[in-house]
Amino acid sequence: MPYNDLAALTALVSEKTCAVMLEPIQGEGGINTPDAEYLAQVRQLCDKYGALLIFDEIQTGIGRTGKMFAYQHSGIKPDIVTLAKGLGGGVPIGAFIASDKVATAFGAGDHGSTFGGNPLACAAANAVLGVIAEENLLDNVTTVGQYLQAELNKLQLKYPQLITEVRGMGLMLGAKLTKPGRDIVNQCMEQGAIINCTAGDVLRFVPPLNITKAHVDEVITILDKVLALA
Ligand SMILES: Cc1ncc(COP(=O)(O)O)c(C=O)c1O
């Protein structure tokens, strides 16, 4: 179903709905950020029908948007949050967090898996959470994210025939192109900048949370050169 479309969601949700699951900002979908009120409206809809609200924060969670969880920008709380990518800082781990009420549905051992609760992976995640706090990385994400967004906005002004929109939050940003992004990504790679393309035509920027403005400058310089020839 379409993202950020309350009418479309309302048409699907009823007393028979168990849960609504969505990303607070869509990653693979093309860095789609919902309207300010959308997540709160979805919460209301779920409450009306007794459905759980699950946020997939696998891309947005663990500081990516400048808060520990992206839902914290919205003023509402989901019942369940799923996490992975950033949680282990490169070490594979996935997790979900539930409200006290929902968590009572599980007892110890109900949801086992071979590597679930792996001590090494959990130690890595613990270290990640420690570093995020000790190094004030949430502040860094906000500051450097705003800087990156501003620099991308400048590129949009310079190349309006190529970039139609810059969107996202914190260090989860996208630049919507007027054509497929694959060649631009490949050419940036040849010059030493790893960026990515989602949804075919959205350049996606999800750098490490400890990136500096100097790193942003390097990427923007490379991207500028590549766009000039695109
Ligand atoms: C938002 C989101 N949800 C879920 C997944 C799947 O996660 P996993 O590979 O940990 O099952 C991904 C993977 O890219 C993702 O980006």
The whole-number average pLDDT for the span 18-47 is 97
Q: Which two tokens stand for residue 174?
A: 């996208």
Q: Give me 44's structure tokens.
A: 């209301």
Instruction: Name the residue with the closest Cα to ligand 1, atom 5.
Output: 58
Q: Is residue 156 part of a domain?
A: yes
Verify whether ligand 1 is closer than 6 Å to residue 96 (CB atom).
no
* pLDDT one-digit tens code per residue, 63-85: 999 999 999 999 999 999 999 99
CA of 32 to the centre of ligand 1 (A): 16
Kindly give the distance from the C-alpha atom of residue 57 to the centroid of ligand 1, in angstroms, as a whole number: 9
The residue whose two tokens read 């693979």 is 28
Tokens of 188: 């940036």
Strand partners, 27: none
Q: Which band of pLDDT confidence, cut at 50, 70 and 90, is reported for residue 31? A: very high
Query: Residue 148 pLDDT more than 90?
Result: yes
Partners of residue 169 on adjacent β-strands: 172
Over residues 89-130, the pLDDT tens digits come to 999 999 999 999 999 998 888 888 898 889 999 999 999 999
pLDDT for the residue numbered 201: 98
**Nearest-atom index, ligand 1, CA of 85:** 10
Q: Which residue has the tokens 């990515």?
A: 196
Same domain, 172 and 70: no
Looking at residue 108, its pLDDT comes to 84
Among the atoms of ligand 1, which is closest to the Cα of residue 94? Answer: 10
Please answer whether residues 196 and 204 qualify as being in contact, where contact means their C-beta atoms are separated by less than 8 angstroms. Answer: yes
CATH number, domain at 161?
3.90.1150.10
Q: Which domain holds residue 214?
A: 137-228
Average confidence (pLDDT) over 141-148: 98
- pLDDT, residue 58, reads 98
Place of tokens 């967090």: 97
- Tell me the three state secondary structure of residue 198: strand
Each residue's pLDDT tens digit, 185-198: 999 999 999 999 99
Give the pLDDT score at 40: 97
User: How does strand 52-56 pair with strand 172-177?
Assistant: unpaired
**Helix 213-228 with 182-190: angle, nearest 10 deg:** 120
| Residues 48 and 127 occupy one common structural domain | yes
- 153-184 residue pLDDT tens: 999 999 999 999 999 999 999 999 999 999 99
Q: Do 170 and 120 share a structural domain? A: no
Assess if residue 154 is contained within a domain: yes
CA atoms within 13 A on the CB side of 109: 0
Shared domain for 115 and 212, answered yes or no, is no
Atom in ligand 1 nearest the alpha carbon of residue 60? 1
CB-based burial label for 161 (10 Å; 0-12, 13-18, 19+)? exposed
Which residue, 100, 115, 134, sits at the end of a domain?
134
Whole-number Å distance, alpha carbon 85 to ligand 1 midpoint, is 8
Q: Is residue 193 part of a domain?
A: yes
- What's the whole-number average pLDDT of the chain? 97
d(CA 195, CA 174): 10
The rounded Å distance from CA 59 to ligand 1 centre is: 7
The CA 88 to ligand 1 mean position distance, Å, reads 14
pLDDT value at residue 112: 83
Stretch 137-143: mean pLDDT: 98
Residue 191: per-residue pLDDT: 97
